[in-house]
Amino acid sequence: MERSLRIGVVGAGLGGTTAAGLLQRAGFSVVLYDQMPAFSRLGAGIQLGPNVMKIMRRLGIEESMAAVANEPQYWCSRNATDGAYLSRIPLNADRARYQAPYITIHRGEAHQIMLGAVDVANVQFGKCLADLHVHDRGVRLSFMDGTSDDVDILIGADGLNSCVRAKLLGPEDPLFTGWIGHRGMIKASKLAGLDVGECVKWWSSDRHMMTYFLDHKKEEFYFVTGEPAESWPLGVSWVPSTHAEMHKSFAGYDPLVRAYIDAAENITKWPLYTRRPLPVWHRGRVVLLGDACHPMKPHMAQGAAMAIEDAAMLVRCMSEIETNDPNTCFEAYRHHRMGRASRVQEVSNANTWLRTNEDPSWVYGYDVYGIDLHA
């Protein structure tokens, strides 16, 4: 597509920021909008595998991100009650195979580094989308602050509650999955003397706890759980929780897990939502990526990865396919992404990933830049 096109990206999360950075490097004029008034170190832990870090390499930030992150050698799964090992799968211990690192990091730290790969002049905070109008020549965006802007192409990377998707396909409430997650941060000094693994998932029949370090110095430790729940109030994004509530939910778990609960600060509880599969990923001059079109449970730690892969494939299609027809580029993008995103979504929903020893190379060994766009 013509590099003179002005591309708008709504949503400066990990997928949208990746898209903006790669578009900028491909020579497009790009503007990245986000409703937040300014950058904030939001979120908690995130895992980024070699499939993502190869894209960070294209943004020029792979080394800087890995330098502040933890690089676990193995993924381990352990039985909830007696701590017996169910699997031990090489991550950075098999780095030569994947040709990129596997990192665990604070999401806000990763986000800040990624935003640094986008020209600050191309980022507009405080822009909450109110409406959009698609016409033959482009898209008119109207924001809640009363301003408007015009772009030639619009990318909706605004997450589960995407305004772009709602304007494109109509409003629809997300679907509660019947699962919630607790999150907790721990100062690693509180775990001194304990046999703490670098990247461990604890499993029982109907719930789990994922644990890992967030930084290179191993000073911050994090857990996130998955637990069944009958309901969640619509419109409530999270609520505070307590040590007592967690101890009740994880009664009978290994003493190490219970020690994590005792050591945690500011425990919070979050709902897990999904959506029905979308009939289309694009329409006219508007295209969606990440949770805006295929949200999934976080049980493979690949939700953000799928958004980042989407962004990289979309930019490849826009910059490498010789056409000025947006629909041709967008349909190629959907063709190359739908199968993989659907497979990851299916495995994530099943919550079986790496519980026992298996080869994860179909996920971590994937290289978006090795895909033949004409296949």
Q: Nearest 10 degrees: CA dihedral of 130, 122, 292, 323?
A: 110
Residue-level pLDDT, tens digit, the chain, 375 residues: 999 999 999 999 999 999 999 999 999 999 999 999 998 887 789 999 999 999 999 999 999 999 999 999 999 999 999 999 999 999 999 999 999 999 999 999 999 999 999 999 999 999 999 999 998 889 999 999 999 999 999 999 999 999 999 999 999 999 999 999 999 999 999 999 999 999 999 999 999 999 999 999 999 999 999 999 999 998 899 999 999 999 999 999 999 999 999 999 999 999 999 998 898 999 999 999 999 999 999 999 999 999 999 999 999 999 999 999 999 999 999 999 999 999 999 999 999 999 999 999 999 999 999 999 998
Q: What is the DSSP letter of 332?
A: H
CA atoms of 62 and 67, how far apart (whole Å): 9
Buried b (16+ CB within 10 A) or exposed e, 57-66: ebbebbeebb
Phi, psi (deg, nearest 5) at residue 186: -135, 135
Buried b (16+ CB within 10 A) or exposed e, 329-353: bbbbbbebbeebbeebbebbbebeb
Instruction: Tell me what pLDDT residue 136 has.
Output: 84
Instruction: Tell me what pLDDT residue 78 has.
Output: 98
Instruction: Tell me what pLDDT residue 40 has.
Output: 84
* Integer angstrom CA distances of residue 279 from 136, 167, 292, 318, 336: 22, 15, 13, 22, 16
Instruction: Tell me what pLDDT residue 50 has.
Output: 98
Structure tokens at 13: 């999360």
Instruction: Tell me what pLDDT residue 43 has.
Output: 78
CA atoms of 208 and 50, how far apart (whole Å): 24
- Structural element, H or E, at residue 210: strand 208-213
Q: What is the DSSP letter of 281?
A: S
Known catalytic residues are: 212
Largest CA distance in the chain: 65
For 321-337, how does the pLDDT look when each residue is reduced to its tens digit (9 = 90+)? 999 999 999 999 999 99
Structure tokens at 104: 């665990």
For 300-320, how does the pLDDT look when each residue is reduced to its tens digit (9 = 90+)? 999 999 999 999 999 999 999
Structure tokens at 125: 């905070």
Phi, psi (deg, nearest 5) at residue 86: -100, -30
